[in-house]
Every structure is written in structure tokens, then in C-alpha cells.
Structure 1
Amino acid sequence: MTARANWRGTLRIGELDCPVALYTAVSTAERVAFHIINRATGHRVRRHYVDEATGEPVERDDQVKGYETEPGEYVILDADDIAEAVPDSDKILSVTAFVRSDEIDDLYMDRSYYLAAGTADARARHALVRDAMRARHVGALARTVLFRRVRTLLIQPEGDGLIATVLNTRDEIHPAQEAFADLPDLALDDDMIALAQQIIRSKSGHFDPTQFTDRYEAALGDLIRAKLAGRVPRAPPRRPAGQVIDLMAALRASAQSAPPARPASGHARRGKPQRRKAG
């Protein structure tokens, strides 16, 4: 089945225009989905919106969005108000700068899409942009209205095409100090660090995405099949979490039990420069 584009527009770099189309690169559509069921009747339960004061159901046409200014007081916004407030999309993905990809912190990376040529006539221009960026080892920062919001995207060469990654805004990123403020300033023993490094070396390998599966989804599938077959599902073995009393003893035990490092799988990996991590 031919993939359906999420968005179509024009990639603009100076005076060069290239029709493009965004396609989903990551999907959760295959995940196990549940419905809410009435245990007593076996019937599906439906959700309805009700007025919190009267308890009466509110029909869809009477539902509007409201911003609470103080308890019980709202500014009402209907669909037309919101549509007028959102900047008009001219379907232009306008490049503002070319940057090294490793200048962008991983925290700013949100969802990625495949960015393909939007028409058959645009394929040569699309390839030109791809190969020029690859030769310069840069990505393009571009802005457009996407899904009713002004978004900044990082566009990078990927295989035969381009990847466009939506970037989070600065105000969406929480300062690291909020999470790490209570960490003590410790002077760690050199022997502990050496043992930790030994464990890391023993487990060193290469990223192979085929080795990463959703164990939760697999367990749910097994559970559903067991229920359908009338079997009692077998619980997987679990290792109880133990309390670490002696850190050095735990490190030594880990180092002794660590398996040898796995060889490279040879799986093709996405070649990107190492990005700077947040600190």
C-alpha cells in the first residue's frame, strides 16, 4: 500500500523551491489497544461529557474550549477563534540556517518524519539538497506551520532521502538542575571507578535496533492468546530487586558475572555525528 503523506508543501532555500511531502517515520499503530468493558455485562463502556453542575450530557456541538482565569471563571474559545489565532500556513518550509547536527542537544529532538520529493519533477532538486548537505556535513533548520503550530524542523540527509525532525522549543525543556539539584558531590574511590569501567568494557557492543523489542507488547500478546485458548497465563520469572548494601561488593560481583562483549552485528546504522548531551 502506498504511504500517505502527513503534510505537503515546499522546501525553500533562498530562491530554490522544492515540492516536498512528510511521511510518518515512527508509528505506534501496531500497539495492543484496549477498550473499557463492563465486567458485569461484558458490554463496552462509552465515555460521555457531562455538565459538572447539572450532571446532564453535553452534546459535541455545545462543547467549546475554555481557559481558566480563576476558579470557575473561563475565557471561552470556539473553533473559529482558535483557527483565526493560528498563523496561516502558506505550506512553505523555509530554511533559515545550515548547522552542524551535533550542535543540537538531544533534548530538543521530538518526532522524526521522512521528507521526500513531493512530485516527480522535484526529485532532482530534492537529491541536490540532500547531496549538498551531506557533502558539507550539515543539517538545515527550517520553519513552517505544522499541525496548527509554528514548528522548527531539523532536516538531515538520510540514505536516499531526507529526515525532518521536529524540534522542541526552549520553554518546553526543563533545566537539568531541577532534576540534579539534590545530587551530592562525592569523591569516588579509584578502585570503584576501575571496576565500573571493566563492567562497561565487558558489555561494550554496537547499536542494533533489531535487538530492541517491546517486551510489554509481547507479554500482552501472550496473555491475550492464553485467555482465548482458555489457558492460565504463565507469569514470567522475575528477579527481585535487592538493596545494595556494599557498593564495592556489588561492583565486583557484576564484573565477575559480566559476559564477554558481543561482536558487531554488521547491521547498517544511521550515521550521525555524536550530539552534545545536556549537562
Structure 2
Amino acid sequence: MASRAIWKGQLRLSLVSIPVEIHSARKSSSRVSFRQIHGPSGKPVRYQKTVQGVGPVESDDIMKGYETDDGEYILLDKDEIDAIKLETKKTLELVQFVDSAEIAPIWFDRPYYVVPSDELAEDAYRVVRDALRQTKKAGLGQLTMRGKEYLCAIRPCGDGLLLETLHYQQDIRDADPLFSGIEDAASDEELLEVATQLIDRKTAPFDASAFEDHYAAALRDLIAAKMKSSKTPRAKASDDGESGGGENVVDLMDALKKSLKQSRSGKTTRRKKAS
């Protein structure tokens, strides 16, 4: 499946602007995922937004509420929030450079790939990549996506650029209260020597492929074994539609998967009319 950009805009270095796209560097499809199923009926558990004393509500009627110290909610409409104009919605400007090793691991949040939007942008993109590679620096800037402004660090990654969102200072908990009870005394010399020898013996170049998610593998083995057993409780995935109280709840993902399966087999489907 082709990757879809989650942000499109300009990567700016001084007066140079480079059209770029940002793609997530993480894969979610590799994880084992489950749906909650109601045991007695075998139907998926669904969640509905409700208001006490009112019942189910429409998404269009939901507003953002900021709770004040007086116990009131300041109501904001989605359009009012979207109207906030920030340059970082469309521009990621590199405003500072630091040594890559200077940013401690605790500051890193999520990784993303930065790619040029078209062939015309590739020359300038390569210049920025090579300059960061040669100086061993990371560029710092900010961008807005998914309703939040992120602090970002950009550095070379293979033939391209890697963007990593960073935590803001106020997001990191102070470690002193947790570590203050640990005495800053010298370690036993003999024990320290044994520990350093053990570290040296086990030191090797980092290779992520050498590690496996054993829990996910065990889950897949369990699922495979359960699929082979005739004693395994089962629920029909096709028995997903529910009607009642004048409401039809449609699982979009299931509907799309069914449509795709039927289109491959050359069958046509009829649209269900909402009751």
C-alpha cells in the first residue's frame, strides 16, 4: 500500500523554500489488533457519544470546551479553532542547528520521513541533507499538523531526511524527585570492573532486525492454534449490522472490505437504504 502524506508544505532554510511531504515512519499494520466482541451475541461492541439526560448526540453538535477554574466551559467552534493562522501550518522553517548528539533521547517523540514533493525540489533537498550530514547537525523548527504545533528536529537518514517530533520542556517531568533518594556514592571497584567487561563483551553494532516482538509472535501463534481448533468460540463477522430505534450503525472499514471483495469477484452490490 502506497504511503499517504500526513503533511504537505515548505521546508525553509533562510530564503530557500523546498516543497516537501511528511510521511509516518512507523507501521501500524505489523501489530496484532483486536476488536471487542459481546460474548453472548457475538456482535462487535460499539461506542456512541452520549450526553447525560439527552442521550446520543450528533457529531455536528459537539463543540470544544475549555474548563476554567470557576467550573465553567468556554465553548469553541471547530471553525474558530481552524481559523487560527499559524505560519507553521504550511511552513517548517529551520531556525536553529545543534549537534545531533546534543538532543537527549528523552526529548524524542515520533519519527517521520521527509521527502521532496517533486523532481524540481530534489536538488535543494539534497543540498540540505548533505549539509546536515557534513556538519553532523540537526535542524530545529516547528510545524502544525493534526491540530497541534510540534517542535521538530530534522537530520539525515540514509538518502533522505528524518523528522522527529520533540517534547516541549513543560511536557517532561522533572526526574529529581524520583532520583533524589539514590545515593551518589562510588560503586564497588571489583563489581564495576566485572560490569564493564560484560558490557564490552556484549557490545556490537546496532541492528534492529536482531530483535523480535516475542509477545506479538506468541499472540499470532495463539490465534493460529485457535483457528485450527473446532472448539474455539466464533462470531460471524458478516453478522455486523444492527437495526433498532430507527438507527443504522455502519462500520465503514467492514463495508469497504466487503465492497472490495465483491468488486474483485465481478459482483455488484446494492446500497442499503437507511431506515
Q: Normalising by structure 2, what TM-score? A: 0.76
1:124 aligns with 2:158: no
Contact 2:23 2:114 in 1 (8 A): yes
Contact 1:86 1:148 in 2 (8 A): no
Contact 1:96 1:141 in 2 (8 A): yes
Partner of 1:141: 140
| 1:162 Cα deviation from its structure 2 partner | 1.0
* CA–CA distance in structure 2, aligned partners of residues 231 and 187 of structure 1: 61
* CA–CA distance in structure 1, aligned partners of residues 51 and 79 of structure 2: 23
Partner of 2:8: 8
Contact 2:156 2:162 in 1 (8 A): yes
1:23 aligns with 2:23: yes
Contact 2:88 2:142 in 1 (8 A): no
Partner of 2:113: 114
Partner of 2:56: 57
Larger RCO of the pair (alpha carbons < 8 Å, separation 6+)? 1
* CA–CA distance in structure 1, aligned partners of residues 101 and 211 of structure 2: 25
| 1:29 Cα deviation from its structure 2 partner | 2.9
Partner of 1:253: none
* CA–CA distance in structure 1, aligned partners of residues 212 and 102 of structure 2: 30
* CA–CA distance in structure 2, aligned partners of residues 150 and 199 of structure 1: 44
SS of the residue 2:206 aligns to = coil
Partner of 1:239: none
| 1:86 Cα deviation from its structure 2 partner | 6.2
| 1:65 Cα deviation from its structure 2 partner | 2.6
Classify 1:215/1:164 alpha carbon distance in 2 versus 1 (closer, same or farther; 3 Å). same
Contact 1:5 1:23 in 2 (8 A): yes
Size of the aligned set, in residue pairs, is 232
Classify 1:140/1:64 alpha carbon distance in 2 versus 1 (closer, same or farther; 3 Å). same
Code of the residue aligned with 2:187 in structure 1: it is L
Code of the residue aligned with 1:24 in structure 2: it is S
Q: CA deviation digits over 1:108-157, x for unaligned, max 9?
A: 11111111111111111111111122222222112222322222221111
Classify 1:222/1:71 alpha carbon distance in 2 versus 1 (closer, same or farther; 3 Å). farther
Partner of 2:173: 174
| 1:88 Cα deviation from its structure 2 partner | 5.6
Classify 1:228/1:23 alpha carbon distance in 2 versus 1 (closer, same or farther; 3 Å). same
Contact 1:226 1:232 in 2 (8 A): no
Q: Normalising by structure 1, what TM-score? A: 0.75
| 1:163 Cα deviation from its structure 2 partner | 0.9
RMSD: 2.4
1:80-91 maps to which residues of 2 (within 5 A)?
80-85=79-84, 87=86, 89=88, 91=90
SS of the residue 1:154 aligns to = strand
Contact 1:139 1:154 in 2 (8 A): yes
Percent identity of paired positions between Structure 1 and Structure 2: 35
1:205 aligns with 2:204: yes
| 1:70 Cα deviation from its structure 2 partner | 5.2
SS of the residue 1:125 aligns to = helix
Partner of 2:236: none
1:225 aligns with 2:224: yes
SS of the residue 2:165 aligns to = strand
| 1:66 Cα deviation from its structure 2 partner | 2.0
Contact 2:89 2:145 in 1 (8 A): no
Partner of 1:214: 213
SS of the residue 2:75 aligns to = strand
SS of the residue 2:51 aligns to = coil
Code of the residue aligned with 2:50 in structure 1: it is V
Gaps of 5+ in 2: 233-275
SS of the residue 1:143 aligns to = strand
Classify 1:177/1:160 alpha carbon distance in 2 versus 1 (closer, same or farther; 3 Å). same
Partner of 1:37: 37
Classify 1:148/1:49 alpha carbon distance in 2 versus 1 (closer, same or farther; 3 Å). closer
Code of the residue aligned with 2:192 in structure 1: it is I
Q: Higher mean Cα deviation, 122-131 or 192-201?
A: 192-201
